């Protein structure tokens, strides 16, 4: 975790410096290279807010949401927190404000500094902005920062995927071998499988960048959508069940603001973004394969896991009443 903190710190410091330097150039506090005019907010309105329409924005959201994956790690880490009642609500609030600060401000600076005709995928937008200001070695600096950011994301991804496989195994939804841990408490089998699949995915960016890599990118984005849809739906179902059983809302340690508007909005918007995959030929296959996989997982759970749990429940209850220590 200390290593991940180090990588994250570099990324955070770099974003803060970029916002300060880019914002200063945006408002004319720093001269632009080559005597360029200070942009202020002119690039926002030069061709309208949505020059290609709302549909163009919609079909790019799956890639945007892929980049925002990781916020759901708060829920995964809850099971390992010493004091989740205090730590988790604090982490949720910090994530919201940090997202608004780091992402919204940095994207605002990027949008203000780069005219639409110069925006593209051949060069990093951060490099374009720094070059326009005249920052030396902008490309090298950004490559270093991007590398540390990737290492940070990879570390978090390995943790999340490994713990998910471990949890599935403990719940009887995956092979029992994935639930085995070593002396340090690490589910090594789950970790090795995650590393192997991650390595093959990385290889696809070199061998088949225009086909398999794009498909995997879309599939990962789809996974984020399904995860957030499930979180929103689970929250709505939990509140309904909680109050029906006599629970009091004021007793909840963390209450979602503007309930039920926020979870309903999240559920609808994420469903719309997921459906938008059908309108992008390069990403359509992810929707078909992901949908089939999702239905297959539900079928396995309904016809196999659910029946096993029903059979084991009476036995577990007897053992618990007998005072035996169990992990369920």
Pair 197, 281 in one domain: no
User: Which among 188, 195, 187, 193 is positioned nearest to 155, based on CA atoms?
Assistant: 195
Task: Please say which residue of 175, 207, 239 terminates a domain.
Answer: 207
Query: What's the confidence (pLDDT) of residue 2?
Result: 56
Q: 268-312, pLDDT tens digit by residue?
A: 988 888 888 788 777 777 788 887 888 887 887 777 766 665 555
Taking the C-alpha atoms of residue 266 and residue 65, their distance in angstroms, rounded to an integer, is 13
Taking the complete model, does pTM exceed 0.85, yes or no? no
What pLDDT tens digit does each residue of the chain (328 aa) get? 455 567 677 878 888 888 888 888 888 888 877 777 778 887 777 777 777 777 777 777 777 776 677 676 676 666 666 777 777 778 778 878 887 888 888 888 888 888 877 776 667 788 888 888 888 887 788 778 878 877 777 887 788 888 888 888 887 778 888 888 888 888 888 889 988 888 888 787 777 767 777 777 777 778 778 888 888 999 899 988 988 888 888 888 788 888 889 999 989 988 888 888 788 777 777 788 887 888 887 887 777 766 665 555 554 444 434 443 333 2
The stretches of 30-186 forming alpha helices (DSSP H) are: 42-45, 53-59, 61-67, 73-78, 84-98, 105-113, 125-133, 138-170
Same domain for 188 and 232: no
Whether 107 and 187 share a structural domain: yes
- Residues spanned by the domain of 194: 1-207
Domain boundary residue, one of 207, 236, 271: 207
Last residue of a domain, one of 288, 303, 321: 288
């Amino acid at each position: 975790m200390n290593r991940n903190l180090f990588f994250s710190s570099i990324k955070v410091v770099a974003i803060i410096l970029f916002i300060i330097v880019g914002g200063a150039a945006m408002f004319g506090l720093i001269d632009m290279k080559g005597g360029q005019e200070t942009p202020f907010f002119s690039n926002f309105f030069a061709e309208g807010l949505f020059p290609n329409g709302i549909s163009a924005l919609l079909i790019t959201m799956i890639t945007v949401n892929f980049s925002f994956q990781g916020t759901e790690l708060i829920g995964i880490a809850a099971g390992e927190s010493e004091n989740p009642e205090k730590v988790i609500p604090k982490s949720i609030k910090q994530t919201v404000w940090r997202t608004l600060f780091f992402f919204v401000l940095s994207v605002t600076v990027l949008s203000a500094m780069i005219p639409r005709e110069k925006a593209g995928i051949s060069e990093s937008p951060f490099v374009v902005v720094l070059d326009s200001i005249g920052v030396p070695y902008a490309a090298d600096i950004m490559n270093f920062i991007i590398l540390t950011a990737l290492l940070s994301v990879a570390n978090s991804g390995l943790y999340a995927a490994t713990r998910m496989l471990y949890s599935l195994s403990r719940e009887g939804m995956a092979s029992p071998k994935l639930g085995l841990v070593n002396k340090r408490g690490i589910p090594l089998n789950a970790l090795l499988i995650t590393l192997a699949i991650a390595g093959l995915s990385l290889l696809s960016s070199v061998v088949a960048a225009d086909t398999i890599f794009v498909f995997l990118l879309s599939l990962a984005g789809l996974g984020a959508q399904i995860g957030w849809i499930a979180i929103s739906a689970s929250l709505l179902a939990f509140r309904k069940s909680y109050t029906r059983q006599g629970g009091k809302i004021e007793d909840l340690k963390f209450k979602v603001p503007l309930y039920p508007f926020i979870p309903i909005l999240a559920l609808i918007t994420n469903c719309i973004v997921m459906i938008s995959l059908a309108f992008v030929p390069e990403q359509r296959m992810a929707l078909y394969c992901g949908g089939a996989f999702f239905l297959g997982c539900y079928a396995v759970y309904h016809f196999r896991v659910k029946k096993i749990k029903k059979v084991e429940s009476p036995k577990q209850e007897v053992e618990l009443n007998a005072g035996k220590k169990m992990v369920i």
